[in-house]
Amino acid sequence: MVRSFYGAHTPVQSRVELTPVYNMLNSFALIEMVDCMPALGDWVRQTAIALAPPQHRANRIIFEHLGAALLIDNAPSDFAAYLDLLAKEAPQAMHERIREQQGISESVIPEVAALLADPLKLHDLVVMHVRMLWEDYGASEWKQVQRKLQQNVEMLQNSIPSSGIAPDAIANNLQRYIAGAVGLAPGIKETVFVPSRHTGRHITQLQVGTTLYLFFDAQLHSGVVLRDTSMKQLELIGRLSALTEPARLRVLTLLAQHDELTLQDLMTLLDTSQPNVSRYLKSLGSFVREQRGKDGRKWYRLVPTELDTTFHALQQTILAAPDMSIHGENHMQPQGLKHYLDDQGIVRFWPGQETDHRSMLTYLTDHFESGNTYGEKEVNAILTQYVPTHVRDHVTVRRDLVDYHFLERSDSGAQYWRSDKPTGEEPRTLTDEEAYSYYWGGDLPESTS
């Protein structure tokens, strides 16, 4: 039932759903994958430890050999109701479904062959075992994670309010980087993306007819899924540069072998100092997620899809980019600004002359695409790629772009876009009343003098 591998991206129809029944069945199947799939969620590993050997044996038989027994038609969304429906199903119907959907061969293991020869025993084992998993381990876990997963679904369906991220961009990213990470078998007509709290960094799948359900940690992969701008060359170079030091690669390897590690864990495993590990993690920020645990410590996790986006951007840059000769790069560095920019187009120091100041704002504006809408964090990320904070802070640069009408901003300040008005006009000096209203949202207080 559960597989994880890499393959080509094939666009098909898609949707995002919670699918509670398949969500938990996927989690139950993962219990038997703990040894071969590192970095699965805590609940999976803890449940694997809690199950007795006979329960593990039944779990492997059901999920590795008899998975079709669980895939009843028109399954309800409530797992308890699903179990009741499964229990009421005729044993022979379950047996026939396994034969039809899985094409059981004659070389199956003896225990499976014995169950297939006795539909009633098969039915009882499947129902009793899955009911035990749900009542003893699954129900309480689902109660804890359901609300968060539903928020993930809404985020992926509609994007974050005021983020400027289009739902179509999210759908395309899901197809490219989530479905593309596992590959689609021939005959798949629809993909259903299902947020899970138990897959860790892995993407697992369940095929039901011509529909493929893909289970993944939406929070962990949010940086990829919620991205709606292409990777610029400077960002790509920074990411690739981070992979050139053996110690940093060792950090990624260790994170790939564990669900999550603390700074102290990495110091011990690498046998090095805290400043060194902090430096490695800072350089690898594009590929690693940091989160604070219940114990107050910071934990770090690998995000494989960020590697995918990086090497996809590298491929696009090399194979799909126009002529990248020196002459082709010169348009990124206007003649009047060469004194202020280094060879990579990064600002060395900020111009003091008004004419050069406007030219610099024009240069920075060229890194925003016409017709695109950007959130504040996206604007800051683009600006900091080209303007180091020691040269000029991004808040000031962003305000300059708006004041000079190179960028427009929504009333809420949450969205920015490239202006289609004449740019470079001297910003009008605000009156005291206008300034107070603009920055404080109210009327200028009356003088008390």
Structural domain that includes position 383? 330-440
> Is residue 321 included in any domain, yes or no?
no
Would 289 be classed as within a structural domain?
Answer: yes
The residue among 215, 182, 179 whose CA lies nearest residue 200 is 215
Among 249, 279, 310, residue at a domain's last position: 310
| Structure tokens, 399 | 């305000």
Strands (E), 184-340: 190-195, 204-208, 211-216, 261-262, 288-292, 298-302
Is the same domain home to 169 and 220? yes
- The pLDDT value recorded for residue 343 is 74
Instruction: Please give the sequence-ordered ranges of beta strands (E in DSSP) within 114-262, or none if there are none.
Output: 190-195, 204-208, 211-216, 261-262
Which of 33, 25, 58 is closest to 142 using CA atoms? Answer: 25
Q: Is the residue at 1 inside a domain?
A: no
Averaged over 5-9, what is the pLDDT? 38
Co-location of 237 and 106 in the same domain: no
pLDDT digits (tens, 9 = 90+) for 313-343: 888 888 764 544 433 344 445 556 877 887 7
- Domain identity same for 137 and 33: yes
State how far the Cα of 289 lies from the Cα of 228, in Å rounded to an integer.
19
Per-residue pLDDT at 130 = 97
Question: Residue 263 sits in a domain of what CATH number?
Answer: 1.10.10.10
- 283 and 208 share a domain? no
pLDDT digits (tens, 9 = 90+) for 94-148: 999 888 876 655 556 888 889 999 999 999 999 999 999 999 999 999 999 999 9
Q: 155 in helix, strand or coil?
A: helix
Q: What is the pLDDT of residues 155-169, one digit of tens each?
A: 898 876 655 677 888
Query: Can you say whether the dihedral through the CA atoms of 376, 382, 387, 389 is positive or negative?
Result: positive
Do 18 and 148 share a domain, yes or no?
yes
How many Cβ atoms are within 10 Å of 159's Cβ, its own excluded? 20
Both 279 and 409 in one domain: the answer is: no
Q: Which residues have C-beta within 8 Å of that of residue 361, sequence separation ≥ 6?
A: 400, 401, 404, 406, 423, 424
Nearest CA to 69 out of 80, 83, 56, 79 is that of 83
Size (the chain), residues: 449
Identify whether 323 is part of a domain: no
**Domain identity same for 70 and 123:** yes
- Pair (34, 125) in one structural domain: yes
Q: What is the pLDDT of residue 430?
A: 52
Amino acid residing at 442:
G
Judgement on whether residues 45 and 140 belong to the same structural domain of the protein: yes
Clarify whether residues 288 and 355 are in a common domain.
Answer: no
Torsion region of 133: left, alpha or beta (phi above 0 gives left; psi -120 to 50 gives alpha): alpha
Please identify, among 277, 310, 343, the residue that sits at the C-terminal boundary of a domain. 310
> How distant is the alpha carbon of residue 63 from its chain centre?
27
The number of folded domains in the chain is 3
Kindly report the backbone phi and psi dihedral angles of residue 14, in degrees, each rounded to the nearest multiple of 5, phi listed first: -150, 165
Q: Is residue 2 part of a domain?
A: no
Q: Which residues contact 185 (CB under 8 A, 6 or more apart)?
A: 207, 212
Task: Give the model confidence (pLDDT) of 213-267 as tens digits.
Answer: 999 999 899 888 888 777 888 788 888 989 989 999 999 999 988 878 999 999 9
Residue 36 lies in a domain: yes
Q: Is the pLDDT assigned to residue 352 strictly greater than 50?
A: yes
Confidence of residue 33 (pLDDT cuts 50, 70, 90): very high
CB 198 within 8 A of CB 31: no
Residue 198: inside a domain: yes
**pTM score over 0.75:** no
Backbone angles phi, psi at 406, to 5 degrees: -80, -35
For residue 267, being part of any structural domain is answered with yes
Kindly state whether residues 80 and 165 are assigned to the same domain.
Answer: yes
17 and 83, same domain (yes or no): yes
Query: Looking at residue 434, what is its pLDDT?
Result: 52
Q: Domain end: 197, 225, 253, which one? A: 225
